[in-house]
Structure 1
């Protein structure tokens, strides 16, 4: 693909067109900064039927939320690029140069990365096929919808999160089975879960498969190594979050040594001047409403940073 140099130097380039990116783009466009959103594809929650926990948007399909946000952004003069960011560098002038998947090379004075994560599921046959229908990861997004049913939680790489998930689902139903799936549950955690009404099953999970019909829909069977089968209406699992942070690392943003995620301050600013990040790429637990709020916070901070640059360039900081 031949390279096309974009002659526009954007005030702000937002990479990612989900809740965080769209909210940030709208804030920046409304502040009359030349803003482009680079939208590389569907957001993390695209497979879900509906989103929850967002006032006035509860139950809205994710694709409708995104479409509405894009229309609002372009209505304020923002520009959408149907591409992904594949590489980035700082220019000698201190601007950002971003290479896009469509062959474009574009520049921006400031950048917000809101590229999200991939949920890496345990390698269990049949689990991925049920993702977002009978297999879920967020109790706050989907727990209420399966209240009163038979729920199973499968342990994964995120052991502590898995245990917390099993306990939290107990608030929605009396029937919760925690399939440890090979990781060691401490005696203390085992006692606490059992006392709280969670049934524990040891042994590896070998497969997940449909198992007949019932009034609530398709039942699911979790087949264990020892031959036991756990029948349930819904499965919850704590996947490993894989952040899409290659642009952030390419630009030299520092990571948090404890979490391994790119570090941001309370305003979403990274260690690189002019570079912000928001949403799941730096906070895997962020729901749609959380990501939108983080995008708004970052964008407001960006407007102040850009304004200060403009005032300094105009000589406004002279005595």
Structure 2
């Protein structure tokens, strides 16, 4: 079983239009509402692949009730932690060429009691889990050390043998890295921010991932958009990619990639192949729809340890 924690979940409304023109009335050609937040998306992708998963979520307001109601039919078990504030709603605008514009609300402000209640629920649910995935932005009231503290708390719980993955950005991600999680999953932009320099070539990504591992992280999985993904682990460094597909939406593609990695065993070449199959399938689907087994084409994925370190990066981050 894989447990996910999304401290700042959302309702995500995706609107498909012909062209985004500021100041005009634009008629949508399609739209949908999905449960949102990075950890939520990971659980949705796992459930779509028939992998057991539990999503721990703060829940408040009508939005919290709707979020849980949307997750129930897709096979995600939800553990709600009641909060006083209402969850946020996000809007994603998608154009035919795959260009995505996001409007994200900041979310509720959590009290110290609510934060501690979330930590306690994660530890309790993680007792029989293989992985705990802590992912996404932090709501107001939550300090930048939250993810780092969570890594320590889960590890120190007497009955827990779960490995911990963090997928975040900015200061909370930086702090979490120093806590030594078993896995981190940045995209190229997040990794560049973490190491404080641009990553223009694949070799730059390799060096940055090695730097992160020296800080105590077990494995680094970097999603590189159209350039595939890089896996830097204790035994090997691998680069993988898949043939281009028609991009309908990049929303949640990085989350699907992480879900695929965990569904594929969370280690080495087989997991990277599954990760890329999930991520590639996700961008071909509308909104933040997560791929099912029939959508995956693992046979098309190429993975190599013979890296072209001078390869320039130009794909869209996911």
- Is the strand fraction higher in 1 or 2? 1
TM over 0.5: no
Q: Which has the higher helix share?
A: 2
**TM-score (normalised: structure 2):** 0.31
| Greater RCO (Cα-Cα under 8 Å, separation 6 or more) | 1
